[in-house]
Amino acid sequence: MLDISNSALIGAMGNPVALAHGFHASTLSVLIAACASIVFIAIGGRLDSLRKHPSFFYCSVLISLCGLFALFSEEPSSLGIASFVAFSIGNVLLQIIWLELLLEVSSYELALTTVMASALSAIGTLVVNMLNQESYICVLSLFVSLLCLKYMDSALPMPRGNIASEKPSLDKRTLFATLVGLCFVGLVSGTIQSITVAEINSGPMYSSLSSVVVFVLLAILLLPANDLNILTAIKVISSFAIVALIVLLLSLEYAYVSYLLSSVAYGLLTDLTYYAAALIARSKFKPLRVFGIAGAVLYSSAILLALFSGLNLEFENTYFIAALTLVFAVASIWLIADRGIDLLLNPDRRATPGDAPSKLDFNTKATIVAEKHGLTPRETEVLLLASSGRSCPFIAEKLVISENTVKTYLQKVYAKCHVHSRQELISLVEATGR
C-alpha cells in the first residue's frame, strides 16, 4: 500500500514531472531513498530498531501527511517539490518499520507476505490506471497503510534487542564481491528506467502488466515446493535488464517496451532484496544496517544519475549509458557466485550469550527435528545445511556428493518430516522448542 500511495502521488503530479534537466519526480523519490539508505548504514551500528521508539512512527506519519500538500501543486513549484520530498522521507521511514515487522514472522510467512504484497501492488496499479483518480487513491492507500502498520505493531512482539552481538564468520572477499555485484544489478535496471522514463508517451508510468509479471515470477520463485535458488533469480533479473538494454539500442521508438522490461527487473529485484534482507536481519545482523545496505543495492542508480544531472552531462545519451550499463550487467553476473549468496544469507548461526538455547540455537533445533522423525546421519547433515538455507550446489560441495544425490536426500527429508518445501522445513525447525 505504501508503494501504491507513492506511485499515485507521482501520477497525480503528472506523468512524468520534470524537475531538472532529465530529472523526474520518480527519480527524486529514489534518490531520497538512496540518501536514507546511506544514513541507515551509518547509524545502524548504534540504533538497532525504529519500532522500539514509537516517536519514529508518529514522526513518519506526520511527515507523510505533510507531503500530501504535493497533491495541490499543479506545477513543480518549490512548495510542491518540498512536500513531495517530505512524503518520500516519511514513506522510507514507514517502509523500514514495515520491514522490521516482518522480522517477527516465520520464513514461510515471510515468503507468502512478499508474494501477497506484490499481488496487492499489481491490483493497486491496475486500479490507479483504470480510475484515473490518483489523488483519492494516494490518500486512501496511505491511511490504509498506516492502519495496517499500527495493527501489526500491536499484534507482533517487540524486537528482543541486539540480535547480533557476536559477528558471524564471513569470507569478506566473497561477500564484498557479492554486494558489489548486487549493486551493479540495481544500477542496470535503475539506469535503464531513468533513461526511458522521459520517453514515455504510449503508456502509463506504472504499468499493471509489469506488476503482474513480477507477481507471477515471485510466486514461482518463492512458493512452490522446489528450492529457491537466489542466484538463478538474480540471473533472471539481469537477463530482463540486458534485453531491455538491447531493445533500447534498437530504437527510441521502443523506449516504452524497454521501460516495461526494466520495470520487471527492478520490481523483482526490489521484492527479492527486501525478502533476503529480512532473512538476514532477523538472525544475524543489526536490522537498520541491513536495510540500509539493501537500499543502497536498489537505489544506487539515482545517485549516479543525480551526479550526471548536477554536472549537466547528457546522460540520456543512449550509447554512452548503454555501454556503461552493459559493463554493469556483465560484471554483476561475473561477481555474484552461488557461494557468495549462501554466505550473505546464511553465515554461521551463533547464539547470543545469556539467551535461551531453545530460542536461538538453530542447529540444536534441527538436530531435535532429525531425531524426532528418524532421519539417518546423512539425511541429518542435509537437513542441517538445507534448513540453514544452503543451496544444493553448496551442500553437494560440502558433503562431496552430486547435486542429484542432494536432491534425493532432500525429498526423503521432506517426506519423513511431512513438509513439502524448504520454507516449510525451515518453519518446522524454527517452531521447535517454542
When comparing pLDDT for 170 and 319, which is higher? 319
Q: What are phi and psi of 24, to 5 degrees?
A: -125, 170
Kindly state the average pLDDT of the residues 153-163: 66
When comparing pLDDT for 125 and 301, which is higher? 125
pLDDT band at 351 (very low <50, low <70, confident <90, very high): very low
The x, y and z cell numbers of residue 244, run together, are 531491455
For the chain, which residues make up each domain, given as ranges? 2-158+168-345, 357-431
Kindly state the average pLDDT of the residues 95-109: 81
* Lowest model confidence (mean pLDDT) among 44-53, 163-172, 289-298, 401-410: 163-172
CA 234 to chain centre: 12
**CATH topology for 357-431?**
Arc Repressor Mutant, subunit A (1.10.10)
Cβ neighbours for 336, distance < 8 A, ≥ 6 positions apart: 177, 178, 181, 182, 185, 231, 234
Q: What is the pLDDT of residue 169?
A: 47
When comparing pLDDT for 117 and 285, which is higher? 117
Residue 338 has pLDDT above 60, yes or no: no
Q: What is the pLDDT of residue 342?
A: 54
The x, y and z cell numbers of residue 354, run together, are 545469556
Residue 360 has pLDDT above 50, yes or no: no
pLDDT band at 328 (very low <50, low <70, confident <90, very high): low
pLDDT band at 334 (very low <50, low <70, confident <90, very high): low
* Lowest model confidence (mean pLDDT) among 44-53, 239-248, 355-364, 394-403: 355-364
pLDDT band at 258 (very low <50, low <70, confident <90, very high): confident
When comparing pLDDT for 246 and 340, which is higher? 246
Q: What is the pLDDT of residue 58?
A: 83
Distance CA 383, CA 370 (A): 7
Residue 347 has pLDDT above 60, yes or no: no
When comparing pLDDT for 309 and 112, which is higher? 112
Q: What is the pLDDT of residue 165?
A: 43
Q: Looking at domain 2-158+168-345, what is its CATH homologous superfamily?
A: MFS general substrate transporter like domains (1.20.1250.20)
Distance CA 387, CA 158 (A): 25
> What percent of the chain stands above pLDDT 90?
0
DSSP class of residue 253 equals G
The x, y and z cell numbers of residue 133, run together, are 483518480
Residue range 49-62, pLDDT digits in tens: 787 888 888 888 88
Kindly state the average pLDDT of the residues 161-183: 57
Residue 104 has pLDDT above 70, yes or no: yes
CA 344 to chain centre: 14
Q: What is the pLDDT of residue 311?
A: 62
Kindly state the average pLDDT of the residues 75-91: 74
Distance CA 63, CA 88 (A): 9
When comparing pLDDT for 382 and 341, which is higher? 382
Distance CA 31, CA 84 (A): 12
When comparing pLDDT for 111 and 13, which is higher? 111
